[in-house]
A and B are shown apart, each in its own frame.
Chain A
Amino acid sequence: MISQLIFLYCALVIISTALLAVRFHNPVYSVLSVLVLFFHIAGLYLLLNAEFLAAIQIIVYAGGILILYLFVLFLVNLRQEIKSQRFVAHHRLSTVISIILGLSLLAIIPYFKLGAKGNYPVARIEQLTHTKAIGMEIYSTFILPFELAGLILLIAVIGGLVLARNDKTDPADDVSDSAAPTISEVQE
């Protein structure tokens, strides 16, 4: 009973903060409401006996990714959302379509039946501890997805470098470090 109440509380907060994050005009408020959202997702994980995931959710998402967002916001000094024209011409039509799609997603909820149970029922996880179970699975059954995720991070690094590097367009190889201005020159 209590766990259901906690679930309802978390779910309601998650939905409302997600809506707020989209609706706020000040991006800093949006990021902060996403922060609240992440904490409540961590709460959901705790309800499911997944304490490792809960900790990771807070450390990586709330502690790492959101802080990066905030840094970006502070760097670009964006007080107000930039107003731009809509990408699509038929805005009304797309609203109608999204409402229909949303309602049909709600309509299927009663039909949802939980599928086959996996190898890790609650009793087994409590006996093994969640951290150990997840570690064993990731490094044995799910080793291929794990390595692929690593490759995706490598792409993110290389891609970030490629896109962020300052190109010297004309013969790039001829630009040596000596061409960079010295500190005294910059100060002048």
Chain B
Amino acid sequence: MSVSKGVWSKFVKRSPTLALRNKALRTALLSPDLPSGPVSLKSKASKRKYQSIEGLDQIYPLAYEVLEKRSEDIYSKIESLDKNSPTYAEQKEELEIAAEKFNPEVVYMAEYMKNSLDRTQPVFRHYLKKTWEGYSKMLLMQRLETLAVIPDTLPTLEPKVEVKLKFPHNNQDRWIEPGTLLSSNVTKMPPSLEVIEFKESTGDLYTVLMVDPDTPDLAQDSYSTTLLWGVKDVKLSNTDSMIDAKKLMQNEDCEFVEYLPPVCEKNTGKHRIAFWVFRQDGPLENAPKGLRREFFKIRQFVEDNKLTPVGAHVIRTLWDRNTENVRKMYGLPEGRVFTRERVPYLKN
């Protein structure tokens, strides 16, 4: 017997993705008491032993009814909103979140089915954002700051999107944590990125820059920034958030600077490789094909193209026994070799 009788069991105006698809889970979640325990109990013995909390069968339907009634009120408020108001979309999204926030099915899915949520639904985006802010966002900012990616590349960042990164070096897919030290074998092919938007997004354009701010600049006895990869005008939305080989093969104009793997020279230390994701206002104009990689001025580029940084990622690499092979693969000359120790005095 299901407790749901009101707005949360009707799918004329609501998306069917707000309901649990698994029938067993749904009945377990929406029945006032659980005759044979929750679905997570597998063995017959534990199912038989399970006893529902005393009085839950009376309280649960009552609580559900109260929450459902509130949601119904919010839905009627959405309908009475002024559609011509400039803040209509914002207000609507806020109310839609409030209407579904406490729906047990939604809460269950947001907690246990994070990988298969329908990101077109504001309430799922809300829950995804909360989990991202709780860990990944803080981790990213900590890595960007301790590795001084900010301010060495761009002044600062207020992350708006989650950026996930993986390399196709082996037959497995594994997302990489920001700041991980990767070998040259891993980075030899262009990576795939996932850009997860938490606002409503239907076909926004994005730019991705991959830069190495630790290229030695011998003339200045300092470091310079090299542009390793540039991708522009990539169309992403809530449903399609990947920047991968498939997408780039279909739109060949997107890649304005071809991928060059980070090939560090011997004794130049660990190189930070920063990935910057920008949201564009319109098509990118000041990004010609075959832009000069060396002495890349990322701040100038961002200013010229009026880009807003919305997300970032960082990995680290250093010289290893395979670097020369990768150099040969890309037709690069042999790497230079530097002294192992840094000199304790100024060179000039």
A binds B: no
List residues of chain A with CB under 8 Å of any chain B CB.
none
